[in-house]
Structure 1
């Protein structure tokens, strides 16, 4: 085991050591080994912290095993470990990816009820989910809401909104938000430019779209 190997070298693994290795195992999709190591660390008397559980949840979400996340959250609760904003963001992102916007909105409400303040990434995840569903009115309302709560959109947020309007063939609004974005010192990102370029390749007559690359 990792514990035995390190102790033979005169080193004592701690929670940071295990977190690092477990994270690497999840990223390489070695799920069973990661779970085994998680059990081993507890057997060695090392208590998992919020980072450990965040790694587990992120790993499960990354490989699409959302059904196992509830068990991890329940274990956290039983041990008095409180989920942080990063964990809620991962959960929101995962359910949005599979189109579960109601569940994402519920998580958004829960994190606020637990005293956490949504950050730019939190809002961006939910806005992206709304855009993917073509719910642009709701997406722009949420954009205004985040500004009202003094969580100001960044370049990623604006690019998400812009791509949503482009995909919905609402080029006028896409340009409107492009202008707002530019006025705040941001620029179109690679994904937005690629989307515009691909659309123009299929229909070069779209004059409004051409303004994005002019």
Structure 2
């Protein structure tokens, strides 16, 4: 499934997913994350969100990868509101965002032309002790150079 998703053959991956379910396989969080990532990469974040909502059906608990992938998927289709709702779910489900979560959100803000929000978000992360990486700085510098700090 992962290879199919990486090759952007999401329909084939979903077919394999359904075949596995029919044969009695119980998908774990990794299998869910693979399909969620494939759907998000194909611009089908809403479908990915529906799969996320069904995870409990298999007693499967989403992890930070699940949330980061969903946020990235919604930012990709420029749905900043839904991405923010996913951010809130991280905390609601008792998880703590990591630097990847922050980078996804920073990049998402920048892609939605919310550079000033991204900078404020980084300040909040720094205050919480989240240390930026070179990727963090690349995201922000590139956004400011391309769009200015608006």
Fold match, TM over 0.5?
yes
Cα deviation, 1:74-112, whole Å, max 9, x if unaligned, reads: 321222211111111111111112221121111111111
More moved, 123-132 vs 35-44: 35-44
Aligned residues: 149
Q: For residues 96 and 30 of structure 2, what CA distance do their matches in structure 1 show?
A: 19
Q: Deviations over 1:164-214 (max 9, x none)?
A: 2112346xxxxxxxxxxxxxxxxxxxxxxxxxxxxxxxxxxxxxxxxxxxx
Give the distance between the partners of 1:161 and 1:49, measured in 2 at CA.
35
Give the structure, 1 or 2, with the largest relative contact order (CA under 8 Å, sep 6 or more). 2
Runs of 5+ in structure 1 lacking a partner? 1-21, 171-214
Counterpart residue number, 1:15: none
- Please tell me whether residue 99 in structure 1 is matched to residue 44 in structure 2: no
Question: CA 1:68–1:147 in 2, change beyond 3 Å: closer, same or farther?
Answer: same
Q: CA deviation at 1:137?
A: 2.2
| Aligned counterpart, 1:147 | 126
Distance 1:70 1:51 in 2: 15
Unaligned runs of 5+ in 2: none
Query: Residues of 2 paired with 1:35 and 1:25: CA distance?
Result: 9
> 13, 16, 20: which one pairs with 1:34?
13
Q: 1:166/1:31 Cα in 2 relative to 1: closer, same or farther (>3 Å)?
A: closer
Give 1:136's aligned residue: 115
Contact 2:106 2:122 in 1 (8 A): yes
> Are 1:76 and 2:55 an aligned pair?
yes
1:46 corresponds to which of 16, 21, 25: 25
CA contact (8 A) 2:110 2:118 kept: yes
Runs of 4+ more than 3 Å apart: none
If you compute each CA radius of gyration, which structure gives the higher value, 1 or 2?
1
Q: Normalising by the residue count of structure 1, what TM-score does the alignment of the two structures yield? A: 0.64
What is the root-mean-square deviation in Å for CA atoms of aligned residues? 1.7
